[in-house]
Structure 1
Amino acid sequence: MAEETKPSQNPKTPQMAPVPATAKGGDRDFLLHLEAYLARRDGVDKLLKISRYAAKIVLSTSLPSKALAPRLKAFESSVGLSRKAFRLGKFVQDVNAFRSADGSPSSADLLLAAVAYGGEGLYYFVEQFVWLSKAGLIPSQHLRRLQKISAWAELVGYLGSISLKAKELRKIRFLLESKVRSTKSSEDDDEIQKLRVKLLLKQLSLVQDFADGLMALGDVSDGKGFLSNPLLMASAGLLSALISTHKNWTSC
């Protein structure tokens, strides 16, 4: 263990004033909030995702010049590879999420959780090898097969996640309606407000899963039909990234 650094005992040494935890009006200090957000792996990952799909949207239009287009394409490709490296070991998150499922779920819920977390966990696990292949450590002849396995696992995971969140959404709505009918005090109003926020976040999360699932479907089908539209796919990716960024920002 490194030796602990002790503060200076020299009274002439200027001491920095502590950064306030809150700004005027009781709101959290923006820079502290930003620091906490950027300290999260998901926080940085979603900023990279926004950058990548914003670049894809520009590339899908006639806006970039002949000189700019190759640079944007190289940037988009580099960010995509960086995101794969940045998510090393993330599959463990899904293993633990499945292990710590709340309450005693029914057999149907347990199956959906296994599909959701198992699919996403397998996707993140295989993506590690996709990164290693693209980075040159694994022979490139395995890349195509790895990408197919990854795409199918991701799609299966989103199908399970969408089904789970749809059930959770119905439960929140039922609970909210019950509270609204039986509200009697200001404490009930506070609980109703919290339920409304929870409902909104769950709805946004469901929209995000649909957007990500659409892109996974495009990967599985090799972008055939309407899924070959680069603007549609890039817009779905950007929508997903913005929703996820909002969720991470409000939760940190």
Structure 2
Amino acid sequence: MNDTVDKLVIFLAKRDGIDKLVKTFQYVSKLVHWRVEATHPDAAKRAKQWEVASGLSRKAFRTGRFLTGFNALRRNPGSTPTFKFLAVLANAGEMIYFFFDHFLWLSRIGVLDAKLAVKMSFISAFGEAFGYIFFIISDFIVIREGLEAERKLVMEKSTDVKENIRKIKADRVMRLMGVAANVADLIIALADIEPNPFCNHAVSLGISGLVSAWAGWYRNWPS
């Protein structure tokens, strides 16, 4: 299973794989629109249409995604009271995000009153930002614990030391990718919660979206 095409097929068979691909389209088109808006209005209009269509498509793909957080809490809330507490807060925020994202999608495609879009966007983004804060905290705690465990392993002379250190380092890389994605998505969420010149700038949103998408590519790509 080393063939790149095989891995791409597996990646695109996952809902998260499709989401990251379309997310790449969404934020590349946002940056293209910003770059050519003044000089090539026709190209900018097409880029904007691509961005909007990609964003709406991603919301459709995420139908029922809020159940993922619920199932995570039901099956594996955490190994310690601290992680259980953080998992409840993180997944609760993510569940709110994905649940109200359904209504945002329906309002934007005209099934529900378009006036609901602003309120649904705020609630969804607030849940997203709230949840990501606690996912980031959890990842940093695990990274710190991994560093401490790695230092202890270096002092040992066991034959399994190298393999255990390799596993810790691989986990650390994946968690750092998760932190990068969550921080990037947090910036995007803040643009909806509290609009400001930095978060709402097309470049900030575009780069944040691509960082999140490409971190997701890395985490979901078959090994």
Q: Which residue of 2 aligns with 1:210?
A: 183
Q: Deviations over 1:34-65 (max 9, x none)?
A: 22111100000100001111111122224762
Which runs of no fewer than 5 residues in structure 2 stay unpaired? none
Q: Does 1:169 align with 2:143?
A: yes
Once the two structures are superposed, the pairs formed by residues 19-98 of structure 1 within 5 Å of their partners are: 22=1, 28-62=2-36, 65-98=40-73
Question: Which has a greater percent of helix?
Answer: 2
Asked if the contact 2:16–2:220 (Cα under 8 Å) also holds between the matched residues in 1, the reply is yes
User: Which 4+ residue blocks in structure 1 deviate beyond 4 angstroms?
Assistant: none
Q: Counterpart of 1:31 in structure 2: which amino acid?
A: V
Which runs of no fewer than 5 residues in structure 1 stay unpaired? 1-21, 23-27
Deviation at 1:29, TM superposition (A): 2.2
Once the two structures are superposed, the pairs formed by residues 1-252 of structure 1 within 5 Å of their partners are: 22=1, 28-62=2-36, 65-101=40-76, 104-106=79-81, 108-185=82-159, 187-222=160-195, 224-250=196-222
1:140 alignment partner, SS class: coil
Deviation at 1:172, TM superposition (A): 1.3
Q: How many residues align?
A: 222
Deviation at 1:103, TM superposition (A): 5.3
Deviation at 1:32, TM superposition (A): 2.0
From the CA coordinates, give the structure whose radius of gyration is larger: 1
Deviation at 1:102, TM superposition (A): 5.8
* TM-score, structure 1 normalization: 0.83
Q: Which residue of 2 aligns with 1:11?
A: none
CA distance in 1, matches of 2:161, 2:167: 10
Aligned residues with identical type, % of pairs = 31
Alpha carbon RMSD of aligned pairs, Å? 1.6
* TM-score, structure 2 normalization: 0.93
Q: Deviations over 1:197-246 (max 9, x none)?
A: 11111112111111111111121112x13223210111011011001011
Q: Deviations over 1:141-191 (max 9, x none)?
A: 222111111111111011111111111111111111211221432x32122
Q: Which residue of 2 aligns with 1:15?
A: none
